[in-house]
Amino acid sequence: MEGPGYLGDLLRKDGFDICLVNAKHETLPEIEHSLVIVLGAPESANDNLNYLLQEQVLIKKSVEKNIPVLGICLGSQLIAKTFGGKVYGGHKKEIGFYHDLVLEGSPKLFSNFKNPFTVFHWHGDTFDLPEDSTRLARSHDYLNQAFQFQSAIGLQFHLEVKEEMVKLWLDKNKKKLHNISNIDAEKIRKDIDENILIVKNNMEIFYNNLKSSFNL
């Protein structure tokens, strides 16, 4: 289960009560929240799993009520699929720190970001944008890295990671990573010290922009 990481720290610091649900094993709550966050997982948005279908229902209902939804990695793919976008395997896996994300125009959610900016990636799938959505960021290898559909925001990348999260993911996936030709797990580990504070700073900027955009 992927946790909210540094994003959770920021929410708690501001006094938000967090209801953390492992959707694979727990029932999604019926009560309305001021913000819904759908995090990542190893599954694909195309897997016919009940918990993924239930998350899509939650996403749709929340947007219909104009409740902000933030989808990260798999969460972004579920948002895209919920509103008619196609999710499919990308031409290469992106795992590690990347510095080539470019903003599309001047989106308010990314105010005060450097352009291009740095993120942490861990994905193999990608998606087409739903009709009437707005692309917010792209990269060299993937056209759709961040987008908005009404009150739903999809981020294909991770800004919420902490140092210990990255190390844990590397440790748990050591064998899998060894078989991916374009991924150097040891380089990613060495890159943590140089990049983790940059990504956390981007998380904090994005979080403040998100609060401002939706009056949280």
Query: Which sequence positions are flagged as catalytic?
Result: 73, 158, 160
Would you give the distance in Å from CA 29 to the centre of its chain?
21
Contact 127, 85 (CB under 8 A): yes
- The tokens 């087409």 sit on which residue? 128
Cα angle, residue 196 at apex, residues 191 and 199 outer, rounded to 5°: 120
Contact 184, 97 (CB under 8 A): no
In angstroms, rounded to a whole number, what is the distance separating the alpha carbons of residues 99 and 78?
25
Comparing CA positions, the residue from 159, 155, 147, 152 lying closest to residue 105 is 147
